[in-house]
Amino acid sequence: MEQNYQPPKIWKWEKAEGGFSNINRPVSGATHEKELPIGKHPLQLYSMATPNGVKVTIMLEELLAKGHTDAEYDAWLIDIREGQQFSSGFVKINPNSKIPALLDRSYGEETRVFESGSILLYLAEKFQEFLPKDKSQRVEALNWLFWQMGSGPFVGGGFGHFYAYAPLKIKYAIDRYALETKRQLDVLDNRLSIHQFLAGDEYTIADMAVWPWYGALVKGELYEAGEFLQVQDYKHVIRWAGEIAGRAAVKKGSLVNKVWGEEALQMKERH
């Protein structure tokens, strides 16, 4: 790995030696023919229990807890470490080859939904839940939902990648993304110092989108970076994260499509 890399005129793809990034290519589309399994419920989820994946299983479990039996779902594991996001069946549902992806078969024809934010909004509108009716709280919920979609990649693809996964520790990159991650935590801490939840006094899809990333971060569970980022300083985020972690549906949803950690806390598929 070169310290002082000078980019050539034209970038050329060199397949990475190992690790997760060697699964990706500079082109999109399927790498192999394989259809997706389909279960008995109208909602088919293809996912894995990563922070982006659990946003959706938490929402589905919250809907079921509210008595929406139509939210019953089959959750199939897409193991992204094995390249299963590049099967022809998955690519048909999400051309971007990222989990989570949802197929709704309730309305005769199939509706594909990809991008976790789009899935959360789709389910909130379908079931009329977790998106406030009050106009100003609704727009706040959407503000924070979209904030997460735009901000999260600086934490995951930026800080997490360079601090924990990159084969070379680059001070410039770690400094840049540690600063941004701490700035984002401060944004959340200020918001949560005046409101119980992100949209106001209602728990919404915004909390479901933000909690898996930033809740884990303040608990020191992401990238073992608690001490490095001094996460104990974000007291309001810690208070909010604890409240959400205590919800039964959040506990249930966090286990779905999980294939690592303590065996008793794994659930490869859910039907």
User: What track of x and - describes contact with ligand GSH for positions 62 through 101 (by CB under 6 A)?
Assistant: ------------------x----x-----------xxxx-
Options 44, 50, 137, 151; binder of ligand GSH; rule CB under 6 A:
50
CB-nearer residue toward ligand GSH: 100 or 132: 100
Instruction: Cite the DSSP H helix spans in the chain.
Output: 51-65, 88-93, 116-127, 135-153, 171-194, 205-210, 216-218, 226-229, 235-245, 248-253
Distance CA 75, CA 103 (A): 11
Shortest distance, position 11 Cβ to ligand GSH, whole Å: 19
User: What track of x and - describes contact with ligand GSH for positions 188 through 227 (by CB under 6 A)?
Assistant: ----------------------------------------
CB-nearer residue toward ligand GSH: 200 or 257: 257
Shortest distance, position 85 Cβ to ligand GSH, whole Å: 5
3-state secondary structure of 34: coil
Shortest distance, position 8 Cβ to ligand GSH, whole Å: 25
Neighbouring residues of 139: CB distance < 8 A, sequence distance ≥ 6? none
Span near ligand GSH by CB under 6 A; candidates 114-122, 216-224, 228-236, 238-246? 114-122
Q: Does 52 bind ligand GSH (CB under 6 A)?
A: yes
Q: Does 24 bind ligand GSH (CB under 6 A)?
A: yes
Instruction: Give whole-number Cα distances, 168 to 15, 160, 172, 248, in Å.
Output: 16, 13, 12, 40
For 193-209, the DSSP string reads HH-SSSSSSS--HHHHH
CB-nearer residue toward ligand GSH: 101 or 200: 101
Options 110, 115, 129, 269; binder of ligand GSH; rule CB under 6 A:
115
Distance CA 76, CA 44 (A): 8
Using CB under 6 A as the binding criterion, the count of chain residues that bind ligand GSH stands at 14
Distance CA 205, CA 269 (A): 23
The sheet carrying 73-77 orders its strands as 73-77, 43-47, 101-107, 109-114
First-to-last alpha carbon distance for the chain, in angstroms, is 45
Residues near ligand GSH (CB under 6 A) are 23-24, 50, 52, 80, 85, 97-100, 115-117, 149
